[in-house]
Amino acid sequence: MSIRALIVDDSSVMRKIVDRSLRQAGIEISQTFEAGNGAEALTVLQDTRVDLILCDINMPVMDGLEFIKQLPTVENAKGVPVVMITTEGSEAHVVQALACGARGYIRKPFTADQVKEHGIPILAGKP
């Protein structure tokens, strides 16, 4: 299955690392979209439908938690799974991200195997 992914992170280098990790995990990507913060991501989603969103928490302008709270207001984003990829490793942040609607959570630094472990079940519709 070939997917379209949106990667949201304020670091362009990290966005490239996430993209490469998806591909190394065996997830077939047909197209990748990028955004530097949640507000930019919402703009991308106004005109674009994706199959998976990978999002950092700590970003300027609009952080990842606020971004996923706003997702239900965007028609193209309804039902799209979100995986948080972040340095915020505390249990409280994990709980907060999941409560806001994230379907998965990967801590930085991460490996392609971790991306595969968390991403493929979500794409297959499993929690």
Q: What pLDDT digit, counting tens, does each position of 38-54 carry?
A: 999 999 999 999 999 99
Cβ–Cβ contacts within 10 Å for residue 114, how many?
16
Residue length of the chain: 127
- Domains of the chain in start order, with CATH, are 2-123 (3.40.50.2300)
User: 8 or 93: which carries more pLDDT confidence?
Assistant: 8
Please name which of 19, 35, 114, 117 lies closest in space to residue 71, comparing C-alpha atoms: 35
Please name which of 9, 95, 109, 17 lies closest in space to residue 53, comparing C-alpha atoms: 9
Least confident of 49-53, 56-60, 102-106: 102-106
Rounded distance between C-alpha atoms, residue 43 and residue 122, angstroms = 24
Q: The pTM is what?
A: 0.89
The two three-digit tokens of residue 44, written as one number: 């991308």
